[in-house]
Amino acid sequence: PETVETVKQLHLLAPTLSIGFDGGINARNIIRMARTGVKRLNMGSGIFENPSPREALQRFQRRLRSIPRTRSQKRKIAIH
């Protein structure tokens, strides 16, 4: 939770900055992190600790596409 607030504050201070986040991204928090202003999500265990990494990645991508974007969120969020 502290990290989410830090990312939100950073996005408010520098809205054009391409913020990335590495570590701890999973199905429970991917939407919350995406809404903070993060543009890049570096996911390892969230994908590769699943029985089917490809299906896990596709599931995360669908969840991200389901988020309504505001005018300030012109670019897509990338998963790395």
CA distance 63 to 9: 24
pTM: 0.71
Please list the pLDDT of the chain residue by residue as tens digits (80 residues).
778 888 889 988 998 888 888 888 888 888 888 888 788 888 888 899 999 999 999 999 998 888 876 655 555 777 77
pLDDT in tens, 13-28: 998 888 888 888 888 8
Contact 1, 58 (CB under 8 A): no
> 3-state class of 63 per DSSP?
helix
For the record, the structure tokens of 76 come out as: 């897509």
| Confidence at residue 57, expressed as pLDDT on a 0 to 100 scale | 92
